Chains A and B, each alone.
Chain A
Amino acid sequence: MFHVEQFGEGSMLFFDITVIGGGHAGIEAAHIAAQFGLNIAIITIPGIGLGSAPCNPSVGGVGKGQVVRELDALGGLMGILADKAGIQFRTLNDSKGFAVQSTRVQIDKDLYSLEAEAYIATIPNITVIREKVLEIKAEHDFEIVTTERSYRTSKVIMTVGTFLNGKLHTGSEQAIGGRVGCEASAGLTNIFADIKTRPYRFKTGTPPRLDKATIDYSKLEEQPSDSSVRNFHCMHRPFHRFSRQVSCYLARTNTQTMDIIRSNKEKSPMFNGQIKGVGARYCPSIEDKAFRYPEKSVHHVFVEPEGLDLDTMYPSGISSSLPKEVQQEYVNSIEGLESAKIKVYGYAVEYDVIDTTDLKLTLEHIQIPNLYFAGQVNGTSGYEEAAGQGFIAGANAAMAFLGMDPLILSRHESYIGVMIEDLTSNTRDEPYRLFTARSENRLFIREDNSILRMYPYRATFLLNTVLDDFQRTFMDSYHELIQFCDETMIPETSPLMEEFSGEGELQKITRRMSVTEVLRQAWLNPITTLERILAVNGLIISSDLVRTVAISKKYDGYIKRSESQYERLKKMDSMKISWETIAASNNISFECKQRITRIRPDTFGQLKLIEGIRPATLAVVAAKAL
């Protein structure tokens, strides 16, 4: 890593690609672009470490765990950092089937940022510049003007998070900035005259941070770290832990908590009109919960450590922009938090987002070539979503620079692909977060087969690193093991088969079967079953590979069926429609018309994707659109 001071005053520095912002999107973008040997800069606001976690101290989660593993298989950074900074590991949806199982890791946020700094520092062709950007001029290439000097660059990746015209709210107190203690960046209008932001702003919030020592943990439900959860990075030993493991705790709100919030409605910036930005329905503040669900007063509050040495806990589920004294009061109404002290008060932040339908699938801006956008500025929420986009923007900027084909992940094969297509094909009216429900191919897009899914894409980078060697070996062994399963027949009379039969309550194995068939028997756990078959055959194979093969075999039939459904859907979805006619029709509700007019769908598929479109509307359109 170079330091800017090494260069003399007056000379204008040139970078192949410049990333504005050093958050989760920024470091992924810079990291992958640097692997192509280009000269990369990260310009980030002074005072914030790279890869910092201003909100929840965790990485992964339902759908998001899959994204982290996809990134990892593509050669991303997030999985490595999360493993190193991980202080509590958990598998969500553990009992609900392999397809929806997701890893979530609580991170020590200081450690995470330190690891990110250290990792980036080892990459010689990345320069980290800690200055505030004032202006970016797009001419032949770009000129970036900061508070200190100017830089020239061929390509710019904007990963500016919530800092565009950011405004913080805590009760009636307001401050300008992208997060607490930091200044805001200039608005996009100052930086790029040509780029429109969305006409309305987005809003997100964060809960108050509690003093670790003031919580009565004996009254909370403890959730220890699960040692059977596998690390994110495919080349880390699966169960190795880099840091000391700690617990999370579950608390619950009660009637008193909700009454305190309800009686302070006029003091809430979100409900008294002070905040006009749109928040996400799926990530409601405690005020949202209080007013939207008046009949419910018990809500989960996960009390999560922010770090091993940090003295704060993050109470997930009670984000708020209420005045400080109200925050203190409702926190203390929760069992176990009676004497909890707030170290940092919760706040809401409003910020500008761009219209992502102006972006290509590479995340390059359609009107301004060589300019890319990734992360929260695109209206998404979550570190993982940001990192996923950062990777796509970074890889594509680098590959475009080198004249290579673009990297476009299919939505049928990855959650990142789902996200990018959703973002670029549709204007959202609330922050976008990944859910497994957004995928049409959930049985295939799993954590256990991320290498399988991403390897063909990684191969197009034409890189030759240890990761590529690792994946090549993995794929070779995968195919061998698949072949073993398909070709090895086991007679029903073998002791192992009799054991398997004995484990089924009603079902039995009554004939000779291939290993593949055995793995599909509903009552057998495919992983342990394959392990036992391999053991009997004297084969020793890595547990990661066994897992991938066993689960793949289990779901094979379903996946094939869903593929044919998908084909049929795709045909229907590609049907052209006229949004003008639909909007003019008498048979459609006013609300639907508004959404249709705003989004202007061209095909039935796009119409279906619009949130809040009623089935009745779809029926009317489907029946008419011939």
Chain B
Amino acid sequence: MKFLYSDEPIIACSTCNHANAALAVIRISGFTSLAQFSPYFSHTGPIEPRRVYYTKLVLQGQFIDDICITYFEGPKSYNGENILELTIHGNTLNTERVLKLFINHAGCRLASPGEFTYRALKNKKLTLSQVEGLDLFLNANTGYALDQGLSLLSGNLQQIYTDLYDLFLKHKSALELSIDFIDDVGEETAKGYFTSTLKDFKDKFETLERRVIPMDHNLIQPEIVIAGLPNSGKSSLFNFLLRDERAIVSSIAGTTRDYLSEILSIENVRYKLIDTAGIRDASDVIEAEGIRRTKQKMQHAFFSVLLINPLEMREEFSELMQLKFDFMIFTHADGIGFEAAKNQLLQQYPQLGSIGAVSLKSQPEVLEQQLVDLINNKYLSLTFNKPILLDRHKLLINDVSLALKQYENLSSYEHDVAILSHELNTLATCLSELIGIVSPDQILNSIFSNFCIGK
């Protein structure tokens, strides 16, 4: 990481989302004295920590903005360094101008992503898993991710890991006991202890392992995908579902617009609603490519809806039918011959009947309610077991699982306890990484690459 050893003052906008707003907060961290900024403030008196001061921002006599400043003196600040927070007017041009002022004239450098938090870690204000929790907390799109972020920040999940580690140590001790203290405890007791401690560890671990489910990637940014052949009514459904949202949501910035997506909030969860019509329309490629992309989207979707117009059947339909989807809607119910065509289709693909197919045009509100309930139920059932969201943790838990299986296999036939103990070290390594007893370099890289600037 390039900023590992640089401790010069850094600056970034902490609230920026590239849209104009009433206010924006700019943070400067790591300066030695406030004096280096005084030429740019009209305020002349002393600036006491944790008090808000109103001042004008000026550059070479020229008025820039009316702002409020708050000084957090290190080490009693978020990241342990001296921090100055500037609340300015939130026009994006203004924000840029203020940033430039401090970078060009006051010796600040634009912060790298995650650098504020990195310094908090460095200055022992946060632990590694707290940083991971913070990351999750700040980027959460679901109430559940928000909760897990908070749980990490407050150390609850960490407690589960350390409890697991304690049980592991008990087993490890049981193994060592059977070597160093065999005379004191006797073979039978040692064996019993070995078996029971392994079981305790396994039981506890399996509870944790159940919380690792393959789907949960989508729980951080869950997507609802609408798929179907052209003219099956995808865009109609898309617009219908968004009719109340349109005014208050904007398109997601920064993504490549090869499909249409908007935010749809259901019960405190912000879903990304995707109309795969965009895939084909935007790229103007052959049908096959469109279907390939649709498939891909649906694979990673939290929830997928398939739309079928029974009156307009095409060759690609059979391919669409192979996709896994959560809900299916028959469209064009007012068309001539709809019922006959639908029944024929249901006969041809008996699996469709079990999905609970409905028609879009007859009672759209009923349909919507049904859809919302299904989505919400799926969300509730997936979060019921409190799945682990962080990839690093999931991978490590899988590693532990593998190491544990290998160890169990080995311990059923290998009688060389020194070798068993040696193999147990593999398990120990995974576990200690889980609770954060590792050389932190590699973890830091992966964590901070997720951070947005200014956090």
- Stretch with Cβ within 8 A of B (4 or more), from A163-171, A352-360, A614-622: A614-622
Are the CB atoms of B127 and A624 closer together than 8 Å? yes
Residue of A nearest to B185 (CB): A300
Are the CB atoms of B181 and A622 closer together than 8 Å? no
Chain B residues with CB below 8 A from A99, complex form: 416, 418-419
Chain A residues with CB below 8 A from B162, complex form: 614-616, 619
8 new A-B contacts, CB < 8 A, other than A62-B179, A619-B162, are A96-B417, A435-B180, A571-B439, A572-B439, A615-B162, A616-B435, A623-B127, A623-B440
Are the CB atoms of A437 and B440 closer together than 8 Å? no
Are the CB atoms of A572 and B438 closer together than 8 Å? yes
Residue of B nearest to A435 (CB): B180
Residue of B nearest to A316 (CB): B183
Are the CB atoms of A93 and B127 closer together than 8 Å? no
Are the CB atoms of A93 and B437 closer together than 8 Å? no
Given contacts A300-B184, A302-B183, contact A623 B129 (CB under 8 A): yes
**1/0 contact string of A137-165 vs chain B (CB within 8 Å):** 00000000000000000000000000000
Q: How far is the CB of B164 from chain A (nearest CB, A)?
A: 10
Are the CB atoms of A619 and B418 closer together than 8 Å? no
Given contacts A95-B415, A620-B127, A623-B127, contact A437 B179 (CB under 8 A): yes
Q: How far is the CB of B440 from chain A (nearest CB, A)?
A: 6
Are the CB atoms of A615 and B437 closer together than 8 Å? yes
Chain B residues with CB below 8 A from A623, complex form: 121, 127-129, 436, 440
Given contacts A615-B435, A623-B440, contact A436 B419 (CB under 8 A): no
Residue of A nearest to B410 (CB): A522
A245 CA to B183 CA in the complex, in Å?
Answer: 21
Given contacts A562-B425, A581-B124, contact A619 B435 (CB under 8 A): yes
Q: Identify which of residues 529-569 in chain A touch chain B, using a CB-to-CB cut-off of 8 Å.
A: 558, 561-562, 565, 568
Residue of A nearest to B429 (CB): A565
Residue of A nearest to B155 (CB): A587
Q: Identify which of residues 149-190 in chain B touch chain A, using a CB-to-CB cut-off of 8 Å.
A: 158, 162, 165-166, 169, 176, 178-186
Question: 9 closest Cβ contacts across the A-B interface?
Answer: A97-B416, A99-B418, A623-B128, A623-B127, A435-B180, A437-B176, A624-B124, A96-B417, A619-B435
User: Does B422 belong to the interface (CB within 8 Å)?
Assistant: yes
Chain B residues with CB below 8 A from A562, complex form: 422, 425
Given contacts A443-B418, A562-B425, contact A619 B437 (CB under 8 A): yes
Are the CB atoms of A436 and B415 closer together than 8 Å? no
A571 CA to B441 CA in the complex, in Å?
Answer: 12
User: Does B94 belong to the interface (CB within 8 Å)?
Assistant: no
Chain A residues with CB below 8 A from B186, complex form: 300
Chain B residues with CB below 8 A from A619, complex form: 127, 158, 162, 432, 435-437
Chain B residues with CB below 8 A from A299, complex form: 184
Are the CB atoms of B184 and A317 closer together than 8 Å? yes
**1/0 contact string of A397-436 vs chain B (CB within 8 Å):** 0000000000000000000000000000000000000011
User: Does B199 belong to the interface (CB within 8 Å)?
Assistant: no
Given contacts A62-B179, A98-B416, A436-B179, contact A622 B422 (CB under 8 A): no
User: Does A184 belong to the interface (CB within 8 Å)?
Assistant: no
**1/0 contact string of A602-616 vs chain B (CB within 8 Å):** 000000000000111
Q: How far is the CB of A609 from chain B (nearest CB, A)?
A: 14
Are the CB atoms of B422 and A97 closer together than 8 Å? no
Q: How far is the CB of B441 from chain A (nearest CB, A)?
A: 9
A63 CA to B165 CA in the complex, in Å?
Answer: 27
Q: How far is the CB of A412 from chain B (nearest CB, A)?
A: 15
User: Does B421 belong to the interface (CB within 8 Å)?
Assistant: yes
Q: What are 8 contact pairs spanning A and B, CB under 8 A?
A: A92-B182, A96-B416, A443-B422, A562-B425, A565-B429, A571-B439, A616-B435, A622-B128
Q: How far is the CB of A576 from chain B (nearest CB, A)?
A: 13
Residue of B nearest to A568 (CB): B439
Classify chain A's interface size.
35 or more
User: Does B122 belong to the interface (CB within 8 Å)?
Assistant: yes
User: Does A282 belong to the interface (CB within 8 Å)?
Assistant: yes
A581 CA to B416 CA in the complex, in Å?
Answer: 43
User: Does A626 belong to the interface (CB within 8 Å)?
Assistant: yes
Chain B residues with CB below 8 A from A614, complex form: 162
Q: How far is the CB of A334 from chain B (nearest CB, A)?
A: 16
Chain B residues with CB below 8 A from A215, complex form: none
Are the CB atoms of A626 and B440 closer together than 8 Å? yes
Are the CB atoms of B437 and A622 closer together than 8 Å? yes
Residue of A nearest to B186 (CB): A300
Chain B residues with CB below 8 A from A262, complex form: none
| From A96, A98, A99, A623, residue with most partner B Cβ within 10 Å | A623
Q: Identify which of residues 7-34 in chain B touch chain A, using a CB-to-CB cut-off of 8 Å.
A: none
A317 CA to B183 CA in the complex, in Å?
Answer: 10
Option from B176, B417, B432, B436 in Cβ contact (under 8 Å) with A435: B176
Option from B166, B183, B419 in Cβ contact (under 8 Å) with A558: B419
A99 CA to B420 CA in the complex, in Å?
Answer: 11
Are the CB atoms of A96 and B436 closer together than 8 Å? no
Q: How far is the CB of A614 from chain B (nearest CB, A)?
A: 8
A626 CA to B179 CA in the complex, in Å?
Answer: 36
A619 CA to B161 CA in the complex, in Å?
Answer: 10
Are the CB atoms of B180 and A565 closer together than 8 Å? no
Are the CB atoms of B179 and A96 closer together than 8 Å? yes
| From A99, A561, A622, residue with most partner B Cβ within 10 Å | A622
A572 CA to B439 CA in the complex, in Å?
Answer: 6
Q: How far is the CB of B58 from chain A (nearest CB, A)?
A: 39
Q: How far is the CB of A299 from chain B (nearest CB, A)?
A: 8
Q: Identify which of residues 424-455 in chain B touch chain A, using a CB-to-CB cut-off of 8 Å.
A: 425, 429, 432, 435-440
Q: How far is the CB of B239 from chain A (nearest CB, A)?
A: 48
Are the CB atoms of A558 and B422 closer together than 8 Å? yes
Chain B residues with CB below 8 A from A198, complex form: none
A510 CA to B169 CA in the complex, in Å?
Answer: 40
Chain B residues with CB below 8 A from A63, complex form: 180
User: Does A442 belong to the interface (CB within 8 Å)?
Assistant: yes
User: Does A100 belong to the interface (CB within 8 Å)?
Assistant: yes
Residue of B nearest to A444 (CB): B418
Residue of B nearest to A572 (CB): B439
Residue of B nearest to A61 (CB): B183
Are the CB atoms of A100 and B417 closer together than 8 Å? yes
Residue of B nearest to A442 (CB): B418
Chain A residues with CB below 8 A from B181, complex form: 62, 282
Are the CB atoms of B127 and A62 closer together than 8 Å? no
Are the CB atoms of A100 and B183 closer together than 8 Å? no
Residue of B nearest to A620 (CB): B127
A626 CA to B443 CA in the complex, in Å?
Answer: 12
A522 CA to B185 CA in the complex, in Å?
Answer: 29
Q: How far is the CB of B51 from chain A (nearest CB, A)?
A: 26
Option from B180, B414, B437 in Cβ contact (under 8 Å) with A437: B180
**1/0 contact string of A571-611 vs chain B (CB within 8 Å):** 11001000001000101000000000000000000000000
A616 CA to B432 CA in the complex, in Å?
Answer: 10
Are the CB atoms of B180 and A62 closer together than 8 Å? yes
| From B129, B414, B415, B437, residue with most partner A Cβ within 10 Å | B437
Option from A93, A558, A585 in Cβ contact (under 8 Å) with B182: A93
Are the CB atoms of B180 and A436 closer together than 8 Å? yes
Chain B residues with CB below 8 A from A61, complex form: 183
A615 CA to B159 CA in the complex, in Å?
Answer: 11
Are the CB atoms of B124 and A96 closer together than 8 Å? no
